[in-house]
Amino acid sequence: MARPATADMITTCFPNSTTDCQVTNSGNIEVVAGNSGINTVTLSAVGGDLEAGDTVVFTGGVFSGPPLVGCISGLPSGAGCNFNPTQVAPVPTSTGSESSTLTVTTSSTTPPGNYLVTVEVGFVSGGEEIIAPAFSIQQLHPEQAFEVFTTQFHLIVDPVPPIPEYPIGLPILAIFMILGYGLLKRRTGVKKLP
């Protein structure tokens, strides 16, 4: 397996390739704990095209065991990530890039903080279609090459705002004041001047 590229680095799509590839994302995600946020992860060909028959894997297994591509590190407890689509297998026609929408979910118990999330995207050159959602390196044909590209973004989790605490008698007092004003208005009425 080729050595994974560093975050957002432009490098060859696979050994002996004349085309460079790069994985990028649309930016940081900031959410209140318990909510979700969206990012777009894109694998782009720089100075060329992804060819028909190539496979781009955003999440799933690419080996008979770890590592897996997708959100490989940095997510806090109670958080998860989902890609749509999980992979493009195979790329239908020559194109400059393929993208996937990444949704990061959090729970109300996710600790507030700033987390650096690392995403890896797999790229398989040419050959026959790889079966989703998981495949092993042994399924690659001799003419195929596999590469992993990395990108990172910050997940900023804000705390859940506290529920305002009012004295228990305050709402009741307000109701009586409103009702009392209404009754007083009805009894006194408004007299018209002659």
- Domains of the chain by residue range: 11-158
CB atoms within 10 A of CB 94: 13
What does R_g of the chain's alpha carbons equal in angstroms? 28
pLDDT in tens, the chain (194 residues): 444 445 567 777 776 677 788 899 999 999 999 999 999 999 998 877 888 878 888 886 544 444 467 898 999 999 999 999 988 877 878 888 999 999 999 999 999 999 999 998 888 776 544 443 344 444 445 455 678 889 999 999 999 988 876 555 556 666 666 666 555 566 655 555 55
CA distance 150 to 137: 19
pLDDT of residue 112: 97
The helix/strand/coil state of 22 is: strand
48 and 18 in contact (C-beta within 8 Å)? yes
CA distance 60 to 117: 17
Give the alpha-carbon dihedral of 150, 123, 142, 90, to 10 degrees: 170
Dihedral (CA of 135, 138, 144, 148) sign: positive
pLDDT of residue 188: 58
Chain-centroid distance of CA 19 in Å reads: 27
Q: Which CATH superfamily is domain 11-158 in?
A: Immunoglobulins (2.60.40.10)
pLDDT of residue 135: 42
pLDDT of residue 30: 97
Amino acid symbol at 152: Q
CA distance 129 to 7: 27
pTM of the model: 0.73
